[in-house]
Amino acid sequence: MSVIRKTTLTQYLIEQRRRFPDADGGFNALVLDVARACKSIACAVAQGELAGLHGNHAAGGTEAESVNVQGETQKKLDVISNDLFIEMTEWGGNLAGMASEEMPDPYEIPEAYPKGKYLLIFDPLDGSSNIDVNVSIGSIFSILRRDAAADSPLVAEDFFQPGERQVAAGYALYGPTTMLMLSVGRGVVGFTLDPVLGEFILTHDHVQVPEETNEFAINASNSRFWEPPVKRYISECLQGETGPRGKNFNMRWIASMVAEAHRILMRGGVFMYPRDKKDPSKPGRLRLLYEANPIGFLMEQAGGRVSTGEVPLLSLQPSSLHQRIGVVMGSREEVERIERYHKEPASDEQISPLFGRRGLFRD
């Protein structure tokens, strides 16, 4: 009887490390610590209301709901997931510091633990507004090398590196199965958590985003705030096979970036959370360092493209820890089309009647 060999995450990382004989194993250990955090979060998410983990987090043991640095109400699982990331990774001696959506400032490694050369940035629980309705959510992470001297104080500027400098990035998806999608700079691979073994098993090798697609994802309720190039693109998609695109499109919207990204990695598509006029003080909705950059890194490693709509996103120099940005990502041909529309001068002929004064989406 033949035995099918199952490659675990540990085995995959060891095989990758063999390419670098001088590597000390610290990077592998860090990724495995992150994976352990994701396993623990998956268990907490799966228990849900059975363990009283649904609902909002109360601040300091009071009845008042706690709010994070983004001004967003924290869910119980937001706080638990953030604590698990810290607990599982701070002790290993591989990190110089961390940053998270749920913490206003960088997290310094306690004096009790040795310090390393890597920085970890994460969104501990993306899409947490979907927790109570049992829709797929996830965790996003990015790993950088710290440029500063090992004995220098940790500062926010240590994390201000363009996305193209990421050493690794990935996300865990807590859905019908728990999956870990990962890139260490040589393509994208996917692992599925075997609940019996408690191991992430390689199930998706050499993930590639199809260049063409007939699916797009955008929050259409914001259509009145969109810029003309975005209105033009969506209008052309909605016109279907009788319009300028000559084919029918389907619209998807999950309101969970991890779930949106996973669908695109699996079967193609384009996801848009563009800059708009809804709140002029915010240049976008998504956070650059711990949402857009890591997901964008995966997209480009899988042959897709990520952009602000105007410039390549991974080339941007961050300026703040919680910086927001507009994001367009997915199948290369569609993202390049949207970029092209941003470069072309706007004209009345480019906007369909769907977006006119008497149209479906009113200005």
Alpha-carbon span 313 to 304, nearest angstrom: 12
Residue with tokens 């609902």: 55
Rounded-to-integer distance, Cα 208 and Cα 28, Å:
24
Q: What is the DSSP string of 95-133?
A: EEEEEETT-SSPEEPPTTS---SEEEEEEEEETGGGGGG
User: What is the DSSP track for 146-210?
Assistant: --S-TTSPP-GGGG---GGG-SEEEEEEESSSEEEEEESSS--EEEEEETTTTEEEEEE-S----
Strand extents, DSSP E, 189-282? 189-194, 199-204, 215-217, 250-252, 270-273
Which domains are seen in the chain, by residue range? Answer: 9-204 (3.30.540.10), 215-355 (3.40.190.80)
Q: For the whole model, what pTM was predicted? A: 0.91
Angle at alpha carbon of residue 150, lines to 145 and 154, rounded to 5°: 80
pLDDT digit string, tens, across residues 303-326? 999 999 999 999 999 999 999 999
Neighbouring CB atoms inside 10 A of 183's CB total 21
pLDDT of residue 59: 66
Convert the pLDDT of each residue in 31-48 to its tens digit.
999 999 999 999 999 998
- Give the model's confidence band at 131: pLDDT under 50 very low, under 70 low, under 90 confident, else very high: confident
- Spatial distance between the Cα atoms of 143 and 12, rounded to a whole number of angstroms: 18
Per-residue pLDDT, 128: 85
Confidence of residue 5 (pLDDT cuts 50, 70, 90): confident
What does the pLDDT read at residue 357?
A: 44
Distance CA 28, CA 20 (A): 12
- Angstrom distance (rounded) from CA 264 to CA 328: 12
What is the mean predicted confidence (pLDDT) over 167-176?
Answer: 97
DSSP conformation class of 291: I
Task: Work out the pLDDT band at 361, boundaries 50, 70, 90.
Answer: low
In the predicted structure, residue 4 carries a pLDDT above the cut 70: no
What pLDDT, on a 0 to 100 scale, did the predictor assign at position 132? 84
pLDDT digits (tens, 9 = 90+) for 115-129: 999 999 999 999 988
Q: pLDDT per residue over 174-198, tens digit each?
A: 999 999 999 999 999 999 999 999 9
Q: Which pLDDT value is given to residue 77? A: 94
Closest CA to 85 of 14, 35, 132: 35
Band the pLDDT of 24: cuts 50, 70, 90: confident
Residue 114 structure tokens: 């040795």
For residues 139 and 357, the model is more confident at 139
Q: Is 60 exceeded by the pLDDT of residue 61? A: no
Q: How confident is the model at residue 71 (pLDDT cuts 50, 70, 90)?
A: low
Model confidence pLDDT, tens digit, residues 197-232? 999 999 999 999 998 899 999 999 999 999 999 999
Minimum mean pLDDT among 3-7, 98-102, 103-107, 350-354: which range? 350-354
pLDDT of amino acid 60? 58
Window from 59-73, 167-181, 202-216, 328-342 with minimum mean pLDDT: 59-73
Split at pLDDT 50, 70, 90, the class of 1 is very low
To the nearest whole number, what is the mean pLDDT of the chain? Answer: 91
Asked whether the beta carbons of 172 and 193 are under 8 A apart, the reply is: no
Residue range 278-300: average pLDDT? 94
Q: What is the DSSP string of 326-345?
A: -EEEESHHHHHHHHHHHHSP
Burial-class residue 153 by CB neighbours within 10 Å (0-12, 13-18, 19+): exposed
The mean pLDDT value for 270-294 works out to: 93
216: phi then psi, degrees, rounded to nearest 5: -135, 155
